[in-house]
Structure 1
Amino acid sequence: MLVSGCQVFSGSEETGHGLMGTGDLGLIIERATGSLLVVNTTSHSVINRIEGLGDLSHASVVYSRDARYGFVFGRDGGLTKVDLLTQSIVGRVIQSGNSIGGAISQDGRYVAVSNYEPGGVKVFDSKTLELVADIPATYTRQNGEAAQSKTVGLVDAPGNRFVFSLFDAGEIWILDMPDGAENSKPEVTRFDAGKAPYDSMITPDGRFYIAGLFGEDGLSMLDLWDTDAGVTEILPNYGKGEQQLPVYKMPHLEGWTVADGRAFVPAVGHHQVLVADMNDWSLVDKIPVQGQPVFVMASPDNRRIWVSFAHPKNDVVQVIDSQTRKIIRTLEPGKAVLHMEFTPRGEEVWVSSRDSNRVTVYSTHTLEPVAELEAQKPSGIFFTSRAHVLGL
């Protein structure tokens, strides 16, 4: 039975939920209106709408350790702290001209933002949003001129570290934040990464940071347990000898899947999902799919891989069995599918369809829709279970 959940309440006292925890709450980005929906995953309901968050055309969210506060990174450089229980903005700073995501430190003290303009990473106190560190992404061009690079692929790593890539400089940086000791300061370590790293992910154990390279076929990997080894190349020339297609939208590597000892990776410019053996990072398979993959995500039990796509074939989601590596279902959630998010224990997945103005909830067991929620040009979906997951 498909249930529609589209009512928006005017305040937490009117939700009918009374006192509630944040464990089954989440935020949905309404990108065109600069607003958020606070949703309840158990009841498939919209609790409230929060407005006034600026440009959310490429927005993402991380959560405080207690999962009460969401930190929203807007494309206009805005960093906004929202309270899910009161459904209100409790702090907001415009920290750059153009930002592209962020992360929260392992201990929850620091929120870092990755910037295109002027280029670099800024780190803020998660309680007050006061600036703690400003790390310009400076490098030297081949002609000797000094410049600042766009920063991308920012993730949190164990030990209160942030790791990110410099698109223009072709580097990966590790930022070690102070541990609370007197006179401790942020420290930066730099590594050569390859040509034009565009996005990245960190493996669930926090060991490997992997950056996709837009300028070449292949990926760069940094072992955070053994940084003396530097960056190594994995899956080299995976597209060599094949005709590469125009890239309409860059894949999101944070949506990579690690399942059954293998990594499932979106191929840039190809209608393929790559499968790598994580023991030696060799390429073991190429799964043909209907379009250029953007998100390649595993359900929490790792049994199925869910794939979304770039324009123009972005109205479907394909589901792959992780053992047979075969497509078992093609779903049609709506027009312009942008994001998917699994509920904390994986019984459902929520899928946003921007141009259909809705979010469709699917059972991961039956692969059938169970609910729909109305939303204004929805994009990213972020549940509070992310508060307890590394690299998200």
Structure 2
Amino acid sequence: MIRPFLLLAAAGLLCACAQQPLRGTGDLGVVVERATGSLQLIESSGMSSLARIEGLGDLSHASVVFSRDQRFAYVFGRDGGLTKVDLLRQRIDKRVIQGGNSIGGAISQDGRLIAVGNYEPGGVKVFDAQTLEQIADIPATPLADGSRNSRVVGVTDVPGQRFIYSLFDTGETWLLDFSQSRTPQISRFENIGNQPYDALLTPEGRYYIAGLFGEDGMAKLDLWHPERGVERILDGYGRGQQKLPVYKMPHLEGWTVAGNQTFVPAIGQHRVLVMDSENWQQTGAIDVAGQPIFVMARPDARQIWVNFAHPDNGKIQVIDSETHDIIATLEPGPAVLHMEFTARGDQLWLSVRDGGEIQVWDPYTLKLLKRLPAESPSGIFFSSRAHETGL
């Protein structure tokens, strides 16, 4: 006679075999496959691809943030889609169409709120991270002719359960404070400059810096002292330089603060600008192979890696952060769109869109370690971002 407890034990084993294997999520990441509306799930420990997750809509300018337990990825699609992806079950958990044209978002300090920036309709919508239920809708400033609201850019989480972003068409920065309730207190900063197009937060979460597309300069807000308002920095940095046609906007989340130096892309120039991170004055300019898009530091800040807009987007250059010398020019393949370091900097992952592959490099030896096929890959995002402010 088979005892009941043995039957229960056998049933439990069968259920366990049917589930996904138990594993951690700390080495997981996703690659956006823009042409097919899919994500490729990757892991860095073995430098391998685990799965393809489909049905995410228009990912032509997608970005991703992660839940604090690193299990869920939140994907912001260009079609207004907000998609919650379960990395362990390798499938979509929830998906909502919240706008007509979204341009990124952020997750709150406590991991409970998701903010999405929209071009159409212009403004920010905020959602419950677990259910994707909308809890706030904050329209942006209308244009003078009343035709539409301003487009929103540079949505970033900041300490104190707050979000910050800029308004491209009306030259403003808004700070949303959710620390007291789910109805935010809103602080508006006007006349920050012409056409803020993206922004960064310094690693400790103190300074929000918006780049300006319509003029040479940047707008800095000290979040320890927001009452002091916005300060202009790097005014006229391109004075005397011929501005070239801009084929792709730089991405300021790829700016680099490395010790007491900040490295930023110069719009319409073949240069990386260097600023003092304490007084925010320009201290140098590094000539590079094209118009910089991402300017990213290896996690130990010893090297700066730069990729470029068309027609130079087949190249990567590596800069010594101490001497500012270019120590390597690499040619991984056609259309290198994005770079992502693993959290401790032992690997650098590249998306080579027109080569249809992801590459893994050793950033110390500058050697190619692995190639993985991918469908028009663009953004690469590791789950370790869950524990960084401003990403």
- The corresponding residue for 1:169 is 170
Contact 1:275 / 1:283 at 8 angstroms: preserved in 2?
A: yes
- The corresponding residue for 1:5 is none
Measured after TM superposition, the shift of residue 200 of structure 1 is 0.3
CA distance in 2, matches of 1:220, 1:138: 19
Measured after TM superposition, the shift of residue 146 of structure 1 is 7.3
Measured after TM superposition, the shift of residue 344 of structure 1 is 1.4
- The corresponding residue for 1:244 is 243
- The corresponding residue for 2:134 is 131
CA distance in 2, matches of 1:176, 1:237: 33
Contact 1:178 / 1:185 at 8 angstroms: preserved in 2?
A: no
- The corresponding residue for 2:209 is 210
* Counterpart residue identity of residue 200, structure 2: M
Q: Which has the larger radius of gyration?
A: 2
Residues 1:54 and 1:279: Cα distance change in structure 2 (over 3 Å):
same
Contact 1:353 / 1:359 at 8 angstroms: preserved in 2?
A: yes
- The corresponding residue for 1:3 is none
The alignment partner of 2:312 has SS state of: coil
Higher relative contact order (CA 8 A, sep 6+): 1
TM-score (norm 2): 0.94
CA distance in 2, matches of 1:201, 1:31: 24
Residues 1:211 and 1:13: Cα distance change in structure 2 (over 3 Å):
farther
- The corresponding residue for 1:186 is 184
Measured after TM superposition, the shift of residue 186 of structure 1 is 1.0
1:70 to 38, 50, 73: 73
Equivalences for 1:1-392 in 2 at 5 Å?
18-139=21-142, 141=144, 145=146, 147-180=148-181, 185-192=183-190, 193-392=192-391
The alignment partner of 2:253 has SS state of: helix
CA distance in 1, matches of 2:43, 2:163: 30
The alignment partner of 1:335 has SS state of: coil
Measured after TM superposition, the shift of residue 228 of structure 1 is 1.2
Contact 1:138 / 1:146 at 8 angstroms: preserved in 2?
A: no
Amino-acid identity (%): 61
CA distance in 2, matches of 1:205, 1:391: 9
Q: Number of matched residues? A: 375
CA distance in 2, matches of 1:330, 1:277: 26
* Counterpart residue identity of residue 81, structure 2: G
Contact 2:122 / 2:148 at 8 angstroms: preserved in 1?
A: no
Contact 1:307 / 1:318 at 8 angstroms: preserved in 2?
A: yes
Measured after TM superposition, the shift of residue 138 of structure 1 is 1.9
CA distance in 1, matches of 2:232, 2:35: 39
Residues 1:13 and 1:171: Cα distance change in structure 2 (over 3 Å):
farther
CA distance in 1, matches of 2:169, 2:116: 18
CA distance in 1, matches of 2:259, 2:342: 21
Measured after TM superposition, the shift of residue 178 of structure 1 is 4.5
Residues 1:349 and 1:13: Cα distance change in structure 2 (over 3 Å):
farther
Contact 1:304 / 1:322 at 8 angstroms: preserved in 2?
A: yes
Unaligned ranges ≥5, structure 1: 1-11
Give a deviation string over 1:291-326, Cα, whole Å, max 9, x none. 000000001000000001001110011000100111
CA distance in 1, matches of 2:183, 2:22: 41
Residues 1:367 and 1:94: Cα distance change in structure 2 (over 3 Å):
same
CA distance in 2, matches of 1:187, 1:337: 41
* Counterpart residue identity of residue 159, structure 1: G
The alignment partner of 1:386 has SS state of: helix
Quote the RMSD (CA, aligned, Å): 1.5
* Counterpart residue identity of residue 52, structure 1: G
TM-score (norm 1): 0.93
